[in-house]
Structure 1
């Protein structure tokens, strides 16, 4: 932006000197110059205006240099990130606790952007987390830092409410699907709409299974059990753990969460990570793991988590993303983002079945977007995103080999 302004100013000065060259070059002596520059001629007015604009541009450039080279970056700790997450209304903010995230934090330390780097792109997950009045300022800061690093900024999973802000900083937006949120104030399992889930609940509990909540402080005593269930589930469904996106089994932040579990005779058959905001605005359970026991445990756990959220006064239950039927996905862009759709792994990434399941809870759907650099950068972004969320490599290259056979 500054370069463009300087270029226009230089061109204007050149044109001005060309038009007024006879008057200006006749003022070569300093005394004559100082006398004539205060006159009312066109040449004098041009010189005064050019001098004024030149001083303003010089001060702006000086401020830019001072900000970029002398201002210290904001120092912050994990505690600062936790404080911001605790003030959030949305459960996606808890993804900041995963070990694969980097952060840009504002000067006041009350908002941040979580992101990761991939092939010349800085890809942010969701909108800025924190106070809404800080979003505009923080987005500009993120773009400026990315530009200085010769990287292309991009955002994935942003809300429809903030599309205009991303447009203001020069990014193009594309719809990648919709987010399903269940309004718990109107959710009533006895109104006949949830007959299937009620039958499933009765069938499983009549068989001796019991749903219960395990508090975060008890995670240590269940750590090995949960890890074993997760490993068996991954093997049964041929699941590949991926970077960056939600849904990864990550004990580094799970230890601070509550869990909904299914147990029978002292044995745990399933667990889900319960993510909840402190102000009770929203709750979600993006990780559900289970071992085979002859029932549709996945649907049961999600249903029971919703009931628990309602009983405990939460406003919304977030079911995550699904494809949008109204989006004409001619070039198949949607499939590249299916890996980040909550619960997609439980439906073998069949987006039609995934949406049908979420619709059974009668959610409110909101459009979600990606924001990327213009000029056909969408293709480059898709490549960078695909590399970023590629399956985690393991010793011997087992996952690296499997990635080519798992869609």
Structure 2
């Protein structure tokens, strides 16, 4: 055994002396100062523990290298420990992180007399992995777990936002990838196979199976082109079929010409799509899905390119009738012709079935049976907004379970859904998608007007943009009272109106018809006073058939009615609201505020929980530096636009009742189409494009706008 060189002995002596000096300072409890920092030498107990732990660490790490090295009778553990210590010390002196490179170079130099270079490098790499990488990985996982526990709430918010983004993007990404997978299958069927694989393939796979794989490989490609549209629209059937087609497409790619590159891509796509089931939630028929113009153009271009590529690839093959019936490992031109015809027939059959099949939803104004169904759903709904259906100017779209519906109107090319879904159904998301697709089937564009936050994820899935248009005010009737300082102004209003001989009264819907002439007289006077035109669609208008569906709240005296409002009520005494409100020019000051106060007290007495004051347009919009431009413009109009509409006065009036505010949105397509959609919605509400520009000092009162004072001080007079 070779002796340890003398210089290493001297190094060992110096190292021992350094330990002795360290313990000397420890027993003397000496402190040092260096560059303003005080260095305190540990007490003997801690110094001894440091020596023991560091020695054990040194012995274990040095032993790792020794046992990883090949066996050599001339190399002992002591040799390796000395080499290891020297390499570690020089690595520390070099200030290179972990002594990376320095440590390995020195160990190679010192162990070279005993082993070859390869035999040394392998143990050193394993040492780095065991001693550095594994502890680092464990520490990283522990740190991640600790940080997750400490920031659980914050990370849950991030997770929710990330899921929302993934929920929007994942179906679209897979739709594009599946479409490209279909393109790959078609184009590979149009190109000649690699001759290197054909010879071996003939011995491994029967010829009939090869020919079938060539035909169905192209058909699978066409199916993937079609299924991509269903994936984009989150249809569950498209998800299941896509998995099956991807799997079969990969198998056919291997069988037809052993194209393992293409098979690997299709199988990889299959395994990535497999765990994404939750993103494809729509229970819808694939035959009823709509194909946009861009979808049809893209599929047509791919098929034409597939045919052109095939004919170009086999342009040297002379065409004959017998070519269609030639089968063989090298008869690829014949296989291409049969695949082209098969793919074309598939597209033709599916296209004809789509053209001849009736629309999943027909369009017509609701009849008596549908209105009765809508009435039953409204009577079971806690929200009151569904009562707007009785105006009779909207189409209805029911879900398959007949438990919910959307009401909508059509203006130009824009299909406008009014408010949220009415009713409760497990197919609410599907109903929104049905409306969107129905508009596409008729070459229209969908918009959702005055909707809440409830279905925002679905609107985003449709690719629509949300714009906040105001906030709805709802008053808790349990907390509403005329007592105390908060009810002082309301008490004054009640005393002032009743002192003049007026009182509040509610008549049942059965009695409304007898009062209709007097109510119409008040309404006509109101419209004449406001120089306005009846608005529709988003609000109620004076119509005897409409008003006869509801009880009416009146303010009257012995001789005449001076104000009225129809009452909307929700199921289970949950909500109460009003829609159409009118008063005569002779009504006393604060008449409409009086009607509101008395109606809220009546609702509270009857056990209703909240009163909806309707929406305050343009209120609650942000004015911060980075707020959307629409918010800044809307807020400016809200603050300074009293010449057109007293937005701020309306908000201030409703604020008197201490309501809870919730945002309302309009959802629109992206891009330049937004201008056309807004124009169509305005025309729908105004009764035509001409109505948008008709002279009108103030909008008529309604549930959506309620009663707007010309001046805040007028307080709904």
Place the TM-score, normalised by the shorter chain, in its bin. 0.7 to 0.9
Q: 8 Å contact 2:504–2:554 — kept in the other structure?
A: yes
Give 1:11's aligned residue: 183
Give 1:304's aligned residue: 598
TM-score scaled to structure 2, two decimals? 0.49
Match of 2:501 among 203, 208, 212: 208
Q: For 1:145-180, what per-residue CA distance to the aligned partner results, in whole angstroms no more than 9, with x for missing partners?
A: 111111101001111122112112221111111100
Q: Distance in 1 between matches of 2:196 and 2:388?
A: 67
Q: For 1:296-316, what per-residue CA distance to the aligned partner results, in whole angstroms no more than 9, with x for missing partners?
A: 211111111111111111111
For the pair 1:195 / 2:488, whether they are aligned, the reply is: yes
Q: Which moved more, 1:375-384 or 1:350-359?
A: 375-384
Give 1:245's aligned residue: 538
Give 2:570's aligned residue: 277
Higher relative contact order (CA 8 A, sep 6+): 1
Give 2:248's aligned residue: none
Equivalent position SS for 2:598: helix
Q: For 1:353-394, what per-residue CA distance to the aligned partner results, in whole angstroms no more than 9, with x for missing partners?
A: 00000000000000111111123432221111111122579x
Q: Distance in 2 between matches of 1:233 and 1:258?
A: 21
Give 2:207's aligned residue: 32
TM-score scaled to structure 1, two decimals? 0.83
Give 1:167's aligned residue: 460
Distance 1:5 1:112, change over 3 A: farther
Question: What pairs up with 1:229-268 in 2 under 5 angstroms?
Answer: 229-268=522-561
Give 1:403's aligned residue: 694
Q: For 1:101-147, what per-residue CA distance to the aligned partner results, in whole angstroms no more than 9, with x for missing partners?
A: 11111122111110000110000110111115332010011111111
Distance 1:32 1:326, change over 3 A: same
- Which consecutive residues of structure 2, in runs of 5 or more, have no partner in the other structure? 1-171, 214-250, 271-284, 290-349, 699-717
Give 2:426's aligned residue: 133
Match of 2:518 among 225, 229, 247: 225
Q: Distance in 2 between matches of 1:24 and 1:96?
A: 68
Equivalent position SS for 1:310: helix
Give 2:668's aligned residue: 372
Q: 8 Å contact 2:536–2:687 — kept in the other structure?
A: yes
Equivalent position SS for 1:133: coil
Distance 1:116 1:61, change over 3 A: closer
Q: 8 Å contact 1:285–1:302 — kept in the other structure?
A: no
Per-residue deviation, 1:85: 1.2
Q: For 1:30-55, what per-residue CA distance to the aligned partner results, in whole angstroms no more than 9, with x for missing partners?
A: 952526968777338958998xx9xx
For the pair 1:314 / 2:602, whether they are aligned, the reply is: no
Q: 8 Å contact 2:497–2:588 — kept in the other structure?
A: no
Per-residue deviation, 1:255: 0.2
Match of 1:361 among 651, 657, 661: 657
Q: RMSD of the alignment, in Å?
A: 3.7
Distance 1:267 1:71, change over 3 A: closer
Q: 8 Å contact 1:200–1:300 — kept in the other structure?
A: yes
Per-residue deviation, 1:289: 1.0
Distance 1:277 1:92, change over 3 A: same
Match of 1:289 among 553, 576, 582: 582
Equivalent position SS for 2:541: coil
Distance 1:351 1:169, change over 3 A: same
Q: Distance in 1 between matches of 2:512 and 2:555?
A: 15
Q: Which moved more, 1:193-202 or 1:241-250?
A: 241-250
Q: 8 Å contact 2:383–2:575 — kept in the other structure?
A: yes
Q: Distance in 2 between matches of 1:225 and 1:96?
A: 25
Distance 1:23 1:190, change over 3 A: farther
Q: Distance in 2 between matches of 1:224 and 1:260?
A: 16
Q: Distance in 2 between matches of 1:46 and 1:267?
A: 84
Question: What pairs up with 1:52-91 in 2 under 5 angstroms?
Answer: 69=357, 73=361, 77-91=370-384
Equivalent position SS for 1:389: helix
Bigger CA radius of gyration: 2
Match of 1:388 among 681, 684, 693: 684
Distance 1:80 1:401, change over 3 A: closer
Give 1:106's aligned residue: 399
Q: 8 Å contact 1:111–1:128 — kept in the other structure?
A: yes
Q: Which moved more, 1:30-39 or 1:147-156?
A: 30-39
Q: 8 Å contact 1:160–1:368 — kept in the other structure?
A: yes
Equivalent position SS for 2:662: strand
Distance 1:78 1:211, change over 3 A: same
Per-residue deviation, 1:223: 0.8
User: Could you say which structure has the higher helix fraction?
Assistant: 2
Q: 8 Å contact 2:493–2:594 — kept in the other structure?
A: yes
User: Could you say which structure has the higher strand fraction?
Assistant: 1
Q: Distance in 1 between matches of 2:697 and 2:583?
A: 21
Q: 8 Å contact 2:683–2:691 — kept in the other structure?
A: no
For the pair 1:185 / 2:478, whether they are aligned, the reply is: yes
Give 2:195's aligned residue: 22
Per-residue deviation, 1:290: 1.1
Distance 1:385 1:72, change over 3 A: closer
